[in-house]
Structure 1
C-alpha cells in the first residue's frame, strides 16, 4: 500500500518491496471480504417484516408534565403539543416525574375508554442526546482536526454496514460467524484507511487487526460451544424467535463476541504500528529487532491497562445485573458461570485473548514493514540507540 504522504525526518517511505508484500497480503483479504458480503447479503424476502410499534388506532404523542400526580387516582396532568390539557397514567414509583418533564406517551383514546387516555412510554431524550453528540463531535474536531473528522466519517460508515448488512443478515438466518468476520473486516478496511491514511503503517496495523479478529473468532467459536452459551439469557434475545424464526441465538451471541472486541483491537494495533514508526523516527539506525523489543515494552503496558479497562467497561454496563446477582445467596463461581453473566465473561475473556495476541503480531509486522536503518554500523557492536531516549522518559 503506497504512502499518502512522506514522513518527516529520517524515516522516509517504506521500500517498494515492503509495500508490495503488504498489498499481496491485504488485497486477497479485501476480495474475500467483498465476496463474503455478496454471498451473505440477505434476500429481502428472507428478512422478517418489522413489527409495528403500536396497535392500530393508537399513536405516540409528545406531552409535558404540568403538575404532580393526583393522590387519589394517580393521574398525572399533562399538556399536549397543541396546548390541550389531558391526563396520563402514573408509571409508578420507580419512574418519578416532575413538572416540566417532556414525555413520550401512548394515546389510547380511540381504542379504549379509560380514566387516563395517555400511558407513559418514555422520556423525550432527543435534545440532550443531540447536544451531547454535538459536543463530542466538536471536541474531536478541535483536538484531532481532520483526522478526527475522518474517524467520525468512518464510524458513520460502520453503522451503515451494521444496519444495512449485519442486522438483516442475522435476522434472515445467515451463518453468524461469517457475517461477523465479513462485517468486522469491511469496517476495519474502511475506518482504518479513512482515519489514518493509505500508508504502510496503516496496512501493518490492519494486518495485525485481521489476524486478531481471526484468532478471536476461532477462540470464540470454541468457547461458545464449550461453555454451552445459548444466547437466550436476555429478554430481548428470547423475543427474537417470535419475530425472526430464522435467527440463530447462539450464533448471534458468537457474532456479538467478535464485534465486541473489534474496537479495542483496532486501538491497540494502531498504537503498536505507530509506536514502531515513531521509534524509527528517533532511532534511524536501530535494527528491526531493537524496534520490536522496544515497541513490545509499550505493548505490555497497553495490555496491562486494557485488561482492567475491558473488565470495568462490563462492570459499568451490567451494574444492575451484578447487584441483582449479589443479592442471591450463592457462591461467586456459581454466579459467574450462570446465564447472562457467563456470556459476558466469555465475551470479555475471548476478546482479551485476541487483543493480547494481536499486539506481538502487529508489532512484528510493523517492525518488518517500517523503513530499515539509515546505515549499518561500520564495525563493532552497535549501541542501543533507543535506550537513551526511553530512559529519559518518566
Structure 2
C-alpha cells in the first residue's frame, strides 16, 4: 500500500474512532451547580455614559446605556451598571463593544457590564498565528494546525466528558495522549518507521512523566487536593462523579505531551536522515547518534519546561521574594512543591524519551540489515 493511502486509512480510522468516542460521551446531563435561569451573556454597544465615579486608576462604578446586539432583546436600549475592577467590568466609553450580563425576571431586564468584548480580537490573533504557521511551514504547517485542532477537540469532547462520567482522569489522560500522539504523527509524517518511533517514544516518555509525578506526590505527601480553588473543586466532586484527586496528575500528563512529542519526532527524524545519508550505519551507531542528539536537546527542553512552569507561578515567586519567606517555609509550601513536581515530571518525560526513541528508531531503521 502506498504511503498516501496508508496515511488516508490511518486518518479515516482515527476519525471513525473519534466519532465513536464523541457520541459515546455526548449528551451528558450535567448536574446543575448554579442557578442561571433568566441570565444570559449578550453582546452590546455603549451608547451613552450616564454617570461614573472612576478613580485615577480606572476603578469605580459607572452607569451606562447599552444597545443589545444579540439575544432575544436584540436592538433594545437598556441601562446598565459597570463596576470596573482588575478582573471584571470595563471602563466604558461611548461606542465601546462590551459583553453584558442580562438578568430577566418577570419581564424586567437588569443588566451589568461583564467585560470588554475581546472575542473578535482573540480570533484575529489566532488567525494571525495560523497564517504565520502556514506561511513558514507550508503543508507541514497545515498538518500542524490540523493536529493542534484535533488535540483540542479530543480534550474538550472526549477527555472532559470521560472524567465527568467518573472515568479515572489519569486513565483518560493516557488514552487521549496516546490517541492524539498517533494522529498528530500520522498527519505530520504518515505511517513510516520515523513516525512509529516518534509515537512510541512520546507515549512511553509521557507515561514515565506521569509515573514520576505519582511517586513524587506519594513521597512528599502532595495530593490532588492540595491545589488552589480546592474548595470549589471539592464541591464539584461532591455533586458529580469527577475524581478530583487525580486531576493534578492528569494535567501533568497532558502538559508534558507537547515537549516530549517534540523530542521524539526530532530524534526519529534525525536518525532517519542519517540512515538515508549512510545506509551502512548499524543499530549501535544509530542509537549512539540518537543519544548524542538527545543529550543536546535535553538541556534546552528541560530549561524550557522548568521556565514555563516557573513563569506560570511568577506571582508566587514575587510574594516569596517580597515578603522574604524563610527556606523551611518556602520548600514546604504546597504551591511550590506542586510546581517543582510538574517541572521535574515533565522534564523526566523529555529525558526518558531520548533513549527510548533512539533505541526504537535505531532498531526499526536497521531491522532488515545483517
Mark yes or no: TM-score above 0.5: yes
| Residue 296 of structure 1: how far off its partner (Å) | 2.1
Structure 1 stretch displaced more, 61-70 or 216-225: 61-70
Structure 1 stretch displaced more, 213-222 or 77-86: 77-86
Structure 1 stretch displaced more, 354-363 or 320-329: 320-329
| Residue 42 of structure 1: how far off its partner (Å) | 6.0
Match of 2:284 in 1: 289
1:74 to 61, 66, 70: 61
Cα RMSD (Å) of the superposition? 3.4
Match of 1:323 in 2: 318
* Structure 2 SS opposite 1:271: helix
TM-score (norm 2): 0.79
Relative contact order (alpha carbons < 8 A, sep ≥ 6): 1 or 2 greater?
Answer: 1
Distance change >3 Å, CA 93–CA 213, structure 1 → 2:
closer
1:254 and 2:249 equivalent?
Answer: yes
> What CA distance in whole angstroms lies between the structure 2 residues aligned with 1:188 and 1:315?
26
| Residue 165 of structure 1: how far off its partner (Å) | 2.2
1:205 and 2:198 equivalent?
Answer: yes
Match of 1:49 in 2: 31
Unaligned runs of 5+ in 1: 6-26, 377-394
Counterparts in 2 of 1:262-281, with a 5 A limit?
262-281=257-276
The superposition leaves residues 136-167 of structure 1 with CA deviations (integer Å, 9 ceiling, x where unpaired) of 11112122222222222222222222222211
- Does the aligned pair in 1 maintain the 2:62–2:82 contact within 8 Å? yes
* Structure 1 SS opposite 2:3: coil
> What CA distance in whole angstroms lies between the structure 1 residues aligned with 2:214 and 2:86?
44
Distance change >3 Å, CA 194–CA 78, structure 1 → 2:
same
> What CA distance in whole angstroms lies between the structure 2 residues aligned with 1:106 and 1:155?
32
2:146 to 153, 156, 159: 153
> What CA distance in whole angstroms lies between the structure 1 residues aligned with 2:119 and 2:189?
32
| Residue 44 of structure 1: how far off its partner (Å) | 6.4
The superposition leaves residues 245-278 of structure 1 with CA deviations (integer Å, 9 ceiling, x where unpaired) of 2322221111111111111110000000011111
| Residue 121 of structure 1: how far off its partner (Å) | 2.0
The superposition leaves residues 345-375 of structure 1 with CA deviations (integer Å, 9 ceiling, x where unpaired) of 211111111210111111121112125799x
- Does the aligned pair in 2 maintain the 1:58–1:110 contact within 8 Å? no
- Does the aligned pair in 1 maintain the 2:302–2:350 contact within 8 Å? no
- Does the aligned pair in 2 maintain the 1:170–1:252 contact within 8 Å? no
**Higher Rg:** 1
Q: Give the ranges of 4+ consecutive aligned residues of structure 1 lying more than 4 Å apart after TM superposition.
A: 41-45, 65-69, 93-96, 111-114, 233-237, 371-374
